[in-house]
């Protein structure tokens, strides 16, 4: 792993864990002192995290750790859902290759086994990985590098990614029902793509993002659940 990547990961973790507070100012030198690395990887890390939306450059020089309102996060999830809907519509209209359809159907079957089995901590860890694979496969089905790049940017904030709130689902009494709904949406969008039903595929993926909306509300309402979502320390609930 390169020094730049290590620095990016270390600085990101400091922000997401709350060790660096929203509104806290950062300079290259302060981060160099804190992480014990040279200025070049620190400069790269600061620029990268600004691009991800975790930091904001300030006119006087340096950066400040951003804070977000709940409305900001809802909108970020909505943007991701809209773009994933576009990806699904393009996939349906263009007609993906049989090979790629076989891959996403295999992922769907693996998700089925998890959702229908016992819901233990390991289940949700495996679900996160497979869920991320499913969403990436769907994006790939679109055949659009432009859309893929925009979705990557939209999902850069941890709480806007497809699996951001699976940790919250893991502790909810109705977790099984939530996963069943999400999985049925997965299955329906794959069927719509295969049948070349672009409008339906788009609508399904936009609706699918509302599962994350619901889980964000639950996380904000229950203090004990906020530690389950990376970056929740950055959300200013009274904004």
pLDDT at 74: 86
Please tell me whether residues 30 and 105 are part of one structural domain. Answer: no
The reply to whether 58 falls in a domain is yes
pLDDT at 238: 55
List per-block mean pLDDT (blocks of 10 residues) for the chain, which spans 239 residues.
Answer: 87 87 92 93 93 89 90 88 97 94 96 82 80 95 95 80 69 72 94 97 94 76 64 68
Please tell me whether residues 16 and 33 are part of one structural domain. Answer: yes
Please tell me whether residues 126 and 43 are part of one structural domain. Answer: no
pLDDT at 104: 97
Of 66, 95, 110, the one marking the end of a domain is 66
Please tell me whether residues 121 and 26 are part of one structural domain. Answer: no
Please tell me whether residues 215 and 176 are part of one structural domain. Answer: yes
| Helix (H), strand (E), coil (C) string for the chain | CCHHHHHHHHHHHHHHCCCCCCCCEECHHHHHHHHCCCHHHHHHHHHHHHHHCCEEECCCCCEEECCEEHHHHHHHHHHHHHHHHHHHHHHHHHCCCHHHHHHHHHHHHHHHHHHHCCCCHHHHHHHHHHHHHHHHHHHHHCCCHHHHHHHHHHCCCHHHCCCCCHHHHCCCCCHHHHHHHHHHHHHHHHHHHHCCCHHHHHHHHHHHCHHHHHHHHHHHHCHHHHHHCCCHHHEECCC
Range(s) of the domain holding residue 21: 3-66
Helix axes 70-94, 175-194, angle to 10 degrees: 30
pTM: 0.79
pLDDT at 64: 95
Q: How many domains is the chain partitioned into structurally?
A: 2
Strand-pair partners of 57: 63
């Amino acid at each position: 792993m390169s020094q730049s990547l290590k620095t990016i990961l270390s600085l990101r973790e400091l922000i997401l864990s709350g060790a660096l507070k929203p509104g806290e100012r950062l300079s290259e030198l302060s981060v160099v002192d804190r992480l014990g690395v040279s200025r070049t990887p620190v400069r790269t890390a600061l620029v990268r995290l600004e691009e991800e939306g975790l930091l904001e450059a300030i006119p006087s020089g340096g950066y400040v750790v951003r804070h977000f309102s709940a409305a900001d996060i809802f909108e970020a999830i909505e943007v991701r859902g809209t773009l994933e809907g576009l990806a699904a519509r393009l996939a349906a209209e263009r007609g993906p290759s049989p090979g790629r359809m076989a891959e996403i159907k295999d992922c769907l079957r693996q998700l089925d086994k998890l959702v229908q089995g016992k819901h233990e901590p390991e289940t949700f860890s495996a679900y996160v990985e497979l869920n991320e694979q499913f969403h990436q496969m769907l994006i790939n089905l679109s055949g659009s590098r432009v859309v893929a790049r925009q979705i990557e940017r939209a999902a850069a904030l941890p709480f806007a990614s497809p699996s951001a709130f699976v940790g919250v689902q893991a502790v909810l009494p109705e977790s099984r029902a939530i996963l069943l709904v999400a999985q049925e949406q997965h299955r329906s969008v794959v069927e719509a793509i295969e049948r070349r039903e672009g409008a339906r595929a788009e609508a399904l993926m936009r609706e699918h993002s509302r599962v994350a909306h619901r889980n964000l509300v639950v996380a904000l309402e229950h203090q004990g659940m906020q530690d389950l979502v990376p970056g929740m320390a950055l959300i200013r609930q009274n904004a």
